[in-house]
Amino acid sequence: MLSRILWSRASQRLLGVAALAAWTAAAVYAQGAAGPGVPTPAPPERSQQSPASQRPPATKVSQEYSAAQVEAGRTQFASQCGFCHGRDAAGGAGGTDLTRSTLVAEDVRGDRLGPVIRSGRPGQGMPAFALSDGDLAAIVAFIHGQKTQAETAVGGRRGVEPSDLQTGDAADGKRYFSGACARCHSATGDLAGVATRHQGLVLLQRMLYPGAGRGGDPPRVSPSVTVTLPSGQVVTGKVAYRDEFTIALTDASGWYRAWPASQVKFSIDDPLQAHADQLGKYTDDDMHDVLAYLQTLR
Partner 1 sequence: MTTCTTFWRTCRRFADARLRALHHGLLAAVLAVAAVAPAVAQDVPADVLLKPAADSWPTYHGDYSGQHHSRLAQITPANVHRMTLAWAFQTTLPQQIKATPILANGVIYLTAPDNMWAIDARSGRQIWRYTYPANDGFKIGHRGAALRGDLVYLTTPDAHLVALDARTGRVRWNVEIADSRRGYWSTNAPLVIRNHLIVGVSGDFDNLPGILKSFDPETGQLQWTFHSTHPPGTPDSISGGATGGQMWMTGTYDPESNRLYVGTGNPTPVLNGPARAGDNKWTGSIVALNPDTGELEWGFQAVPHDTHDWDAAEVPVLVDADFGGARRKLLLQASRNGYYFVLDRVTGKNLLTIPFATVNWAKGIDGEGRPIPNPDKEPARDGRLIAPDEAGGTNYRPPAFDPATGLLIVSAHDAYGIYFFKPEHGAVGWAGADYTVYGRGVLRAIDYQTGKVRWSHDLHGGAGAAGVLTTAAGLTFTGDSANNALALRTSDGTTLWHSGTGRVGNAPITYELDGRQYVLVGGGSTLYAWVLPALP
Interface residues toward partner 1, by CB under 8 A: 18, 20-21, 23-38, 75-76, 78-80, 82-84, 86-87, 91-94, 127-130, 155-160, 164-168, 201, 204-205, 208-209, 212-214, 216, 241-245, 275-276, 279-280, 282, 284, 287-288
Q: Which C-beta is closer to partner 1: that of 68 or that of 279?
A: 279
Which amino acid would we find at residue 120? G
* Closest CB 159 distance from partner 1, rounded Å: 7
* Closest CB 91 distance from partner 1, rounded Å: 7
* Closest CB 100 distance from partner 1, rounded Å: 11
134: number of Cβ within 10 Å: 11
The CA distance from 59 to 78, in Å, is 22
The CA distance from 208 to 193, in Å, is 18
* Closest CB 22 distance from partner 1, rounded Å: 9
* Closest CB 246 distance from partner 1, rounded Å: 8
Q: Which C-beta is closer to partner 1: that of 19 or that of 234?
A: 19
Q: Which C-beta is closer to partner 1: that of 108 or that of 282?
A: 282
* Closest CB 167 distance from partner 1, rounded Å: 4
How distant is the alpha carbon of residue 166 from its chain centre? 23
Q: Which C-beta is closer to partner 1: that of 110 or that of 168?
A: 168
In sequence order, what are the beta bridge partners of 266?
227
Give every strand in the sheet of 246-250, ordered side by side.
Answer: 256-260, 246-250, 234-242, 224-228, 265-269
Q: Which C-beta is closer to partner 1: that of 10 or that of 239?
A: 239
Q: Which C-beta is closer to partner 1: that of 232 or that of 260?
A: 260
Q: Are 144 and 261 in contact (CB under 8 A)?
A: no
Strand runs labelled E in the chain: 224-228, 234-242, 246-250, 256-260, 265-269
Contacts of 292 (CB under 8 A, 6+ apart): 166, 167, 168, 169, 170, 172, 173
